[in-house]
Chain A
Amino acid sequence: MSVLDIKGVTKQFGNVRAVDSFALTVGDGELVCLLGPSGSGKSTLLRMIGGFETPNSGSITIDGEEVIHLPPERRPTGMVFQSHALWTHMNVFKNIAFGLKLRRIPAAEIKRRVDEVLDLVGLTGYGNRQTHQLSGGQQQRVALARSLVLEPKILLLDEPFASLDQHLRERLREEVRDIQQRLQITTLFVTHGQDEALSMADRIVVLRDGRIEQVAAPDILYREPATPFVAGFIGTMNLIEGEVKDKRFTHSNFSHPLPIADGPAIFAVRPEALTIAPASGEGTAKIHRVTDYGTHGLVDLELHDGTRYKSMVPEARDWRSGQPVTLTPRVYSAYRNNAVAYRSS
């Protein structure tokens, strides 16, 4: 039953604004992903919520209570670090019980709660193990249990799966999502992987240079990116820079109707929405390379000025490199001044 409210938070490191007037409200039981390239300020933001960095200005409230002046040990937040940061001189049980002991909870109650949370993360009976006897995934589960056992109001996850292999990452992703939904715990999740964000989040915040580019549900983010940066960062997007004149967009020998005013624009089309057809003569583009993924093929196209774009085709073997083709965008949009200027259909 907790709501996290962040208003106008700014953090400056020397001359660099790591986080710039950030505002966000995370609803009760919601899982919000902070997504962005490294250096976009997402970790700094999480550390400010956890109390490990102090913002230069702004306010952070949890259930209406200002926490900005509280040290980490007095905030109702629980953080899971990328490096899991387990205490190697304690076994699994002691790692999880440490926070409860600090709260002077009776030993029997501690035992019960630790066992309960070990069940929850799927490590029943692992209490006596030393941390170095665990695999990477198990260590991260212990780190999660260590936070969850204290029943924090807000759970903060700082790229928790970054050091794990792809297969394990996908499994843990689902498990964490299940646990989060079962406990209905308000969660903020930092990642630089779009897969992770798209598969887990209720809402995604895309960050760039300490500023919010877009806040939206995963399906909206993919289909209606608000800026060219988001369009390029989530999934693959052909971003073609050119000029609009007389309701027509032109770049090199690619041209398409675009009903906006004259001037520069970025034409955006996903590879799966760009159809190609064999051309007689020299066509609009030439196939540079065909990659066969079995389920589909990906064709690299080269326009006459040498710029390259991608198109997804149902069957890779229908195409060969060097072949001239014509391009037909089915679903597309256009950006001008870092904002959407047009969206088809």
Chain B
Amino acid sequence: MAVDSTYRPPREIDWTGIGFAVVLTIVIVFPLIVVGLWAFADVWRYPSVLPQQFGLRFWYQTLSRPDVWESITTSIELSVTVTLISAIVCLPAAFAFARLQFPFRSLLFFSFIAGQAFPKFGLLVAIAGIFLSLNLIGTFWGVVLIQLVGTLLYMIWIPVAAFQGVSPRMEEAARDVGASPLRVFWSITLPQAGPTIGAAVLLTFVNTFYETEGAWLIGAPAVHTMPILMISFINNQPVIQYGAVLSAILWLPSFFALLFARRVISGGSFARGFGA
């Protein structure tokens, strides 16, 4: 009689896992579906479960508004500027934190968490007071400055972990075969830390894009970013669809970010950025 050479234990059903999956799906996916439905609903009246009429009417109406286009441009300009400046300032700082010993190193390092640890709004109001006297309120660069504060945590803490993750032996091996310290940084350290730093840049960009508190407090009334426009749509318009369409457009950066993450960044190094 032929005997199956490999024994397979009976497969158990992981009810806990299924439970989590169902709850997460309801919490995350369901609201997305509702907003998505609203965005494409030309007519949707109580008590119908689904819209009576699908269409792009509100897309045309929303996209024909000049303030919507202006806010898209503003948001992209702001996020790109903030991410770039943050990278230029924070990455060398992160390298210093990871590799050099200097006085008050830990104190400085932990100070970056302060911006996230305390209620942000109080901090923002205090900064707004200072910006008022500097004539930065309601200006593009005022918003850039305030949003930079929010990016420090991602752009310093994650790259520090990335740089610390690069083995000093690897760098020494490169010195040994003839590479100068600068060359070692470009050819060994940066490529090794690259994927994780990519994750930090991505997080910074997306978070800046969605940031509302600073953009509203410092930017109002002149600077309108997309999320702020959406809030005002939701607050001031009786038509739900405007807000829904705008929020659907707002998904785009996240969607592209996720695609990029899947292509460029392996799961492992992405997780390493968060100390996993």
Name A's B-contacting residues (CB within 8 A).
50-52, 71-74, 77-79, 81, 83, 85-89, 98-99, 102-103, 143, 146-147, 150
Contacts and interface: CB of A to CB of B under 8 A. Distances in A.
Contacts, number: 62
B193 to A, nearest CB: 10
Nearest to A150: B177
Contacts of A147: 176-177
Contact of A146 (B173, B179, B188): B173
A171 to B, nearest CB: 23
A150 to B, nearest CB: 6
Contacts of B187: 98
B175 A72 contact: yes
A81 B173 contact: yes
B62 interface: no
Contacts of A73: 175-180
A147 B187 CA distance: 18
B130 interface: no
B192 interface: yes
A215 B26 CA distance: 74
B47 to A, nearest CB: 59
Nearest to A74: B178
Contacts of A50: 176
A87 B176 contact: no
8 contacts: A74-B178, A81-B169, A83-B167, A87-B174, A98-B177, A98-B187, A99-B179, A143-B173
Contacts of B221: none
B177 A146 contact: yes
Interface residues of B, number: 18
Contacts of A85: 167, 169-170, 172-173
B183 A87 contact: no
A83 B169 contact: yes
Contact of A89 (B167, B179, B192): B192
B200 to A, nearest CB: 18
A235 to B, nearest CB: 32
B178 A103 contact: yes
Question: Lowest 5 A-B CB distances belong to which pairs?
Answer: A99-B177, A85-B169, A72-B175, A85-B173, A89-B191
B169 A72 contact: no
Contacts of A79: 172-173, 176
A77 B192 CA distance: 25
A331 B169 CA distance: 47
A78 B176 contact: yes
Given A83-B167, A89-B192, A52 B172 contact: yes
A98 B179 CA distance: 9
Given A72-B175, A73-B179, A146-B177, A87 B169 contact: no
Contacts of B176: 50, 72-73, 77-79, 147
Nearest to B191: A89
B178 A87 contact: no
B167 A72 contact: no
B99 to A, nearest CB: 15
B173 A150 contact: no
Nearest to B195: A89
A150 B192 contact: no
A4 B172 CA distance: 21
B160 to A, nearest CB: 20
Given A72-B172, A88-B192, A98-B187, 4 more contacts: A52-B175, A74-B178, A87-B174, A143-B173
A71 B192 contact: no
Contacts of B173: 79, 81, 85-87, 143, 146
A81 B167 CA distance: 12
